[in-house]
Each structure stands twice: as C-alpha cells, then as structure tokens.
Structure 1
Amino acid sequence: MRQFTAIVNPTAGGSAAAAALLRVARPLREAGADLRTRYSRSLAHARELARQAAQEGRVVLAVGGDGMAGGVGGALSGTGALLGLVPAGRGNDFARALELPRAPDALARVLLDNEPRSVDTIEVESARHARTVVLGSVYAGVDALANRHANNASLLRGSASYYAGGLRAVTTWRAARYRVTVDGREHLHIGYTVVAANSGYYGSGRRIAPAARIDDGLLEIVMIRDAPRRLFFTLMNELRTGAHVHRPEVEILRGREIRISADREVPYGADGEVEARLPVTVRVLPGALRVLA
C-alpha cells in the first residue's frame, strides 16, 4: 500500500486545493493508504516539502495547478521519487497531458494502483533567473504577458481568465525579433511568441503543440509569426483544437536544447509561474520523472 504526502497550495483557486484533496482523501484512506498533508507557504517551500517527503520514501502529491505541479515535479526530477497530481488550479494542463480522471474515486484508483510512468522534464537556465526544472512548457512572448494578466484576474477562473488575459496582452503587443537556436541551428523569427513544449497543452486546455509527447525526449518548438491582430485572435480560437498548426504563420520545430533571445525585453514564463526576461536556454531531461498517470 502506497504512503502519500500531499503538498497543498492553499492559494490555488481560493479553497479549491483543500477541497480537491478532501474529495480524494476519503477513497485513499478507505483503501487503507496513509495520507499526510503539508501546506506550503510558497513554491520554494513546496519544493522543500516535496524533497523531504521523497526522502522518506513517500509518494508526493502536488495539490494545486500547473505552478504547483511544475514546482513539485521539478524538485523531484532526477531523484527517482514518485509524483501524483491532484488537479485544483486554474489550468491543470499537465494533468490533462497525463489523462488523469476528474472524478475523485477514479483519481484515487490511479494513485493507488497504476504503475509509475517515466516522463520528460524541462531544465530552464537564465542569467537573470535561478536554474529551475518544470514540466509542461516554456513560452516567451505575448502568452507570457497574457499569463501574467490571467494570474492577476481575481474575478475570473479557468479558460476565461486566460482568454481575457490574452485579449489584454495582444492589444499592447508589438512583434519581437527573436533568435531561436535549436540544437545548434539558428532560426530568425519575428512575431508573437516562441513556445518550447513538453506537454501539448497550455493556457487552460489550449492545444499549443498537439504532436508533443511527454515521454519522447524531445521538445516541440512552436513559433507564431507576426500577423494582423484579427488573424491572431482567430489563431487564439484555433488553439482549442490545435488547428492553428496548419496556418502558414505557425512554424514548428523539434529539438533537445533551445536558446531563445530577442532584440528587446521580452517576458517568458513556465508552467504558469516562472516570470523572467529573455534570453533563456531550455533542455529536455528525458525520462527524468516518475509519475502516476
């Protein structure tokens, strides 16, 4: 019987994280599992709590959104520890990539019975930001600005906050000149964003990289070129299905190491949390994390 330590982000969706844990805790405990709960004061504190639980040989449950999943998963990357997710945030995109069920009883069965799966993680390095490891994606451009607006939209939840944040970001965005180096080969790009995707999803279910796989040892690099704002809004809508990849304004590359820089200060983000400025280098860490999926 697995022993669990839940790391809870008490700010994810207000009280949503605590409520989500309560719903899955009942079937876990009824099955005889030992479950402890730790509340984090910050993402750095959550990483510390996760490492402590892993050293005790316990399954670490990240309870919250993509920031919590990425922070805890990044802390466990390369350690051999086992991660489970209890989705309770605004986006929950890595949980989508793992195809986790929403029903608490079904999620509990996954956590209790399923065999671990090895997935890739992403190492992020920047001269302006401490090295970190995340799970889903690193994005540099208008989407990073949109995510910042979404995180500050206290009255909106889920995809609505991301859409509103996107509208606000696009109205003030001017095309950046990027230099994108993929496995040593340089590409010049003028446009809205560059996304290095491990997971196919970001922005609360938007399929930014439909062909991305979390266990293939590669990152999908999605670059959206400069286009009229009206067309970009159409592209935003097409992200729901992944149809945007067929547009001539969208270029997709694959690689293991990507460096992104720009001709001006451009923000980048990762897993909905990391906020910094280019340049940044990202590398895939193949099979570095064991998860329950």
Structure 2
Amino acid sequence: MQREHQAILQGKRLAFIGCGVMAEAIASALLRAELVDSHQLTGGEPNARRRQELSTRLGIRIVPDNREAARDADLVVLSIKPQTLETVMRELHGQLAPHQVVLSIIPGATIARLTSGLGHPLVVRSMPNTPAQIGYGMTVWHPAPAVDEAGCAMVQAVLEAMGQAIRVEDEDAIDMATALSGTGPAYVFLVMEALIDAGVHLGFPRAIAEQLVYQTMLGAVLYAKESRKHPAELRNMVTTPGGTSAAALYELEKGGLRTVIARGVWAAYRRAQELGQGRRVAQPE
C-alpha cells in the first residue's frame, strides 16, 4: 500500500491553507511515511511565529499569503477554523486552476458552500480526528461529482497516511462522522478522566490510576477489535451474575449512561449542521 501511495503522490505538490494542529499532523504523517518530500509541501499561515515554528520542525516552505501557497499545488488542503472560512474563500475565489483538487477538513463546511465560495468544482469534504497525529486516525470523506478517480486516489493516499480512511457516498455521513468519530476522542477522554478520578477517590495515587486506566482502555479496544465480537457479547463475557461488573453496570445503566452518550452525539451532529450553514447559536444556559 505504501508503494502504491508513493506512486500516486510522486511529483504532486500539496498546499495547506492554515497550518494548525491538523495540518501539521497530515504533513508529518506524509513525511514520516516517506510518501512525499518536504519540497512538495507548502503552507499558508498568517502567524509569523507559527510559520517559523513549522518551517523549522518540518523543513517545509510556509508563506503568509494563501494565494501564493495554493498557486502551484495539485492538492489544496483547507485546514482552517470554521470562523475564518468565508475570508479564505474570498481570497481564493477564482484563483484555483482547473486541475487543482481542494480537500477540506473543516467541520460542517458543505460541498455546496465550498464550491460556491471558492468558485471551483473539485472539492472533497472530509472529517479526520485527533489520533491522526500519531497515525491512528479515522477519517471519513466524500468527493464532489466533478472529482475524478485520479483526484480521489490522491486524496485517499493522503488521508490513509494518518490512519484509516473511509469514502462515503452520502455527504450527510460526514456530519454523522463528525459527531461520532471526529468528536469521539473527546468522549473517550472524558470517560478516561472520570475513571482516573474514581481511582484517585478510591485511594490510588494519580499516576497509578492513570496507568491502570490507559492500559485498560487500550487493551479493551484492541481485544474488541481483534475478537470481532459484538461489544454486548464481550460485556456479557466479563459480567458474572452478582459480581463486581454486574454491580457497576447496574449503576451505569440506572444513571442513563447510554442515553447521555446518545444525546451528546446527536448534539454534536446538530452543531455540525449549524456550522455548515454558517450559523452561530447561543450556548444553552
């Protein structure tokens, strides 16, 4: 697979519009996997300190002007915050060449909004997540109809450098993925935090509680994936009638854990759709 991706990206130039955490994660993954050389990557970043920092760390060219960054790229990655999207689209409107593919990782930004704002039909929408920074990301993506298979292959090669990537046929699945896998690490981190705090409350030193929780979470995920069993089946396997797991699970179910998680995911989904429409909503009291 690596050789195939190397062949696809050979000679291709990539530009990152916005050089934040995710742009650095993608660039680092591509360089680490030796899919591209540093001279194939360019970044557009208004913050001088960030330009210097990323240029020093990755050895890539970073410029303050987005149009200059995008000029010679085959793939233009929109890795900016949703709040700056309108400004950046105005900068790039009518500036992109017919062959250039735009890959957006902006939450909620729809293909219709991007193609209209950029005046450009070759747009791919995607949603990665933060484990992409260590090569264990999960990205869901969807291309506009105008993107050909060569363009899709280029996007797939880039996204798979960060972990797994799934192409979906329905664009609405991107908002669903934003709520489930894109926001998902935050749910996991919250559960980890709660378990660590519970361990400290029991009497463990925090360092030991952290070690116990991290390894338990990691082991459980790897075991579930390798076993190919449904999570309910795995849960039943470790739940002895009248035992400690049964007592704990009773309290979790009684407290509505499933319902609270489902409500959180739905809230993230609705917010992703609001962001896609450029709407600002008041936070609940």
Structure ranking higher on relative contact order (CA contacts 8 Å, 6+ apart): 1
User: Normalising by structure 1, what TM-score?
Assistant: 0.33
Which structure is larger by alpha-carbon Rg, 1 or 2?
2
User: Normalising by structure 2, what TM-score?
Assistant: 0.34
Higher normalized strand content (fraction of residues): 1
